[in-house]
């Protein structure tokens, strides 16, 4: 039986690949896509989600617009990475479908409360504003959440937005603190693992060689997206941050991590948004997240290419 999931996202080229990976995987049932301002503002993220559903012919997947700002802070966006549309590198048609009128937070709450015995897996690959808001408004959903699989944070790798803060957590650290303190089962994909999940030039060649509309779109998006990280880090390709979340749900054996205590810095101006990961257990605090650190890169890329080719 497919695993029911909700993808909470701010597309973003790597978000796009995560969505496409999920839609190409029969192991997963995408109950809906919820959007959150992050890489680009609302309503661009919602438009981008609709474009991706239409690209794959999956207009049956409902898209729910969510938060347009963090809980307590001004919105910080990342057009410098993703371009002004969030999906630069491909020219997708203006969507003919529309988002649902229900707010993303209400959809998350209602979906969790209606969950069957499998529960619902929440897959936030953007700022955690929607997820935190749903938990704060209706904490009775927590027992219905099978797992929250998060792309966010960093520890030994540091940050990509400040010296210590990763973008998704930095945008809304207050929301991240609510989620990590919620008691829900959490699996975390920080920069320490996602920076190892590189798509290299030869991998882009494999995607281009698929020869489909979806394959061409992915190759175009990633060709644009990689320029930022190649220049910034001096690496050979682009990290596929968000697809790690979906790949883990399909094949968890691709990743290695361990249970840790994770706390979020919300007060210090110097280190706001830092994920303080007690990797060595020095505090003796009870773990609240499974923190991933290693990826089988070749196996991960094989999975991405194979599933994109199905669409």
Please report, for the chain, how many H helices and E strands are present, in that order.
12, 12
What are the start-end ranges of the E strands in the chain? 3-9, 28-35, 63-65, 120-124, 145-151, 186-189, 198-199, 238-239, 255-260, 262-264, 275-277, 289-295
Q: In the structure encoding, which two tokens stand for residue 293, read together?
A: 């650190």
Q: Confirm if 216 and 5 have CB atoms less than 8 A apart.
A: no
Distance of alpha carbon 204 from alpha carbon 141, whole angstroms = 40
Q: Confirm if 111 and 145 have CB atoms less than 8 A apart.
A: no
Distance of alpha carbon 14 from alpha carbon 19, whole angstroms = 9
Closest by Cα among 309, 311, 20, 8 to 172? 8
Q: Give strand pairing partners of 186.
A: 148
Catalytic residue flag (residue 103): no
Residues sharing a CB contact under 8 Å with residue 19, sequence separation 6 or more, in sequence order: 7, 9, 11, 33, 49, 52, 53
Cis ω before 12 (30° cut-off from 0): yes
How open is the CA angle 256-260-262, to the nearest 5 degrees? 120
Residues sharing a CB contact under 8 Å with residue 245, sequence separation 6 or more, in sequence order: 18, 123, 125, 149, 150, 151, 189
Percent helix, percent strand, percent coil in the chain, to nearest 5 = 40, 20, 40
- Which one of 82, 195, 228, 241 is the catalytic residue? 241
How open is the CA angle 161-123-299, to the nearest 5 degrees? 85
Residues annotated as part of the active site: 241
């Amino acid at each position: 039986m497919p695993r029911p999931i909700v993808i909470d996202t701010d597309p973003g080229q790597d978000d796009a690949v995560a969505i496409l990976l999920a839609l190409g995987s029969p192991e997963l049932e995408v109950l809906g896509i919820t959007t959150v301002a992050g890489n680009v503002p609302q309503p661009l993220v919602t438009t981008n989600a609709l474009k991706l559903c239409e690209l794959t012919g999956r207009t049956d997947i409902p898209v729910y617009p969510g938060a347009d700002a963090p809980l307590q802070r001004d919105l910080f966006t990342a057009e410098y990475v993703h371009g002004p549309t969030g999906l630069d590198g491909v020219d997708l048609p203006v969507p003919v479908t529309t988002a649902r009128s229900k707010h993303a937070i209400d959809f998350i709450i209602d979906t969790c409360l209606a969950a069957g015995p499998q529960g619902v897996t929440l897959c936030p690959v953007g700022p955690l504003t929607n997820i935190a808001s749903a938990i704060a408004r209706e904490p009775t959903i927590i027992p219905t959440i099978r797992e929250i699989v998060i792309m966010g944070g960093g520890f030994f790798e540091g940050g990509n937005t400040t010296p210590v803060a990763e973008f998704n957590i930095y945008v809304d650290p207050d929301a991240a603190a609510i989620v990590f303190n919620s008691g829900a089962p959490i699996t975390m994909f920080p920069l320490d693992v996602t920076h190892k999940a590189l798509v290299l030039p030869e991998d882009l060649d494999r995607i281009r060689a698929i020869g489909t509309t979806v394959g061409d779109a992915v190759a175009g998006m990633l060709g644009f997206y990689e320029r930022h990280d190649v220049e910034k880090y001096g690496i050979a390709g682009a990290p596929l941050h968000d697809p790690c979340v979906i790949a883990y749900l399909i094949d968890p054996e691709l990743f290695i991590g361990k249970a840790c205590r994770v706390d979020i810095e919300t007060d210090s101006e110097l280190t706001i948004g830092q994920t303080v990961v007690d990797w060595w257990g020095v505090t003796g605090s009870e773990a609240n997240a499974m923190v991933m650190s290693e990826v089988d890169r070749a196996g991960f890329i094989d999975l991405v290419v194979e599933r994109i080719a199905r669409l």
